[in-house]
Amino acid sequence: MIQLDGVIKRFGANTVLDGIDLRIAPGEVVSILGASGSGKSTLIRCLNGLERLDAGAISVDGARIDTPAGLQAARRACATVFQLFNLYPHMTALQNVTLAPVEVLKVPRRQAEEAARALLASVGLGERADAYPAQLSGGQRQRVGICRALAMKPRYLLLDEVTSALDPEMTAEVLAILAKLAHEGTTMLFVTHEIEFARQISSRIVFLEQGRLLADLPTAQFFAPDGGLAQPRIAQFLSKMSKS
């Protein structure tokens, strides 16, 4: 269980997260929607410890992440996939995927490489395991990023706008993989602009507006006229997104 209690995060005079309470239970697929600047990415960055909180607490499986031990445990339980891929440019796809399992989980190298090759094959990159990031397309790089996250066998998968930097064709590739993962029962927390996708695979939708949670509803209810759509701000946002 990922638990956020009264989380507040400020950047200078700007309050980006203004008192967030959120629970994510194992098996859930939660999408975080909202306008740019509403604090969505900051939320993920607080979860994996890249940003420090100004107030409130976050705990992952009972351990608070403001202690070094808790943070380390949280980072093993959660894996992040980034919008800009953030692959290690001087390592091959295979090495990108095996680095953390070998160094952190102390998996023997041979075993890690076999597992990595299997993972890369499952996303259609079996032939490209020895390619460097510079030789891969955006969609391929993001698929490596997903494998890199999955290689750690995380309990929770955090995805920060992972298709925003991809063209439509590559977006579809990556979304297909994510849909499969959701189907297989992976616990996922998405930040995304892909409304249709969120609607199809999420169990729950959370709407962020200027640092506050405007809605936290099961998917069907979120898109219902008397549920999420009843809120003018949400309705406005959804209609704007569907026009583009």
**Closer to another protein at the Cβ: 173 or 209?**
173
Task: Identify each DSSP E strand in the chain by its residue range.
Answer: 2-11, 14-24, 29-34, 55-60, 63-64, 78-81, 156-160, 187-191, 204-209, 212-218
Q: Does 59 bind another protein (CB under 8 A)?
A: no
Query: Residue 59 forms beta bridges with which residues?
Result: 3, 64
Instruction: Give exposure, 138-164, as e/b (b: 16+ Cβ within 10 Å).
Output: bbbbbbbbbbbbbbbebbbbbbbbbbe
Give the separation between CA 211 and CA 190, rounded to whole angstroms: 17
Contact 101, 152 (CB under 8 A): yes
**Closer to another protein at the Cβ: 1 or 131?**
131
**Closer to another protein at the Cβ: 40 or 204?**
40
Q: Which window, 16-24, 35-43, 76-84, 189-197, contacts another protein (CB under 8 A)? A: 76-84
Residue with tokens 């091959």: 92
Residue with tokens 């992972």: 162
Answer for which of 8, 35, 131, 217 binds another protein (CB under 8 A) is: 131
Q: Does 88 bind another protein (CB under 8 A)?
A: yes
**Closer to another protein at the Cβ: 11 or 88?**
88
**Closer to another protein at the Cβ: 18 or 160?**
160
Positions 174 through 203 that interact with another protein (CB under 8 A)? none
Q: Which window, 13-21, 131-139, 188-196, 225-233, contacts another protein (CB under 8 A)? A: 131-139
CA-based diameter of the chain, in Å?
55
Q: Which window, 81-89, 181-189, 207-215, 228-236, contacts another protein (CB under 8 A)? A: 81-89
Residues that bind another protein (CB under 8 A): 48-50, 72, 75-76, 78-80, 82, 84, 86-90, 99-100, 103-104, 131-132, 134-137, 140, 148-149, 152
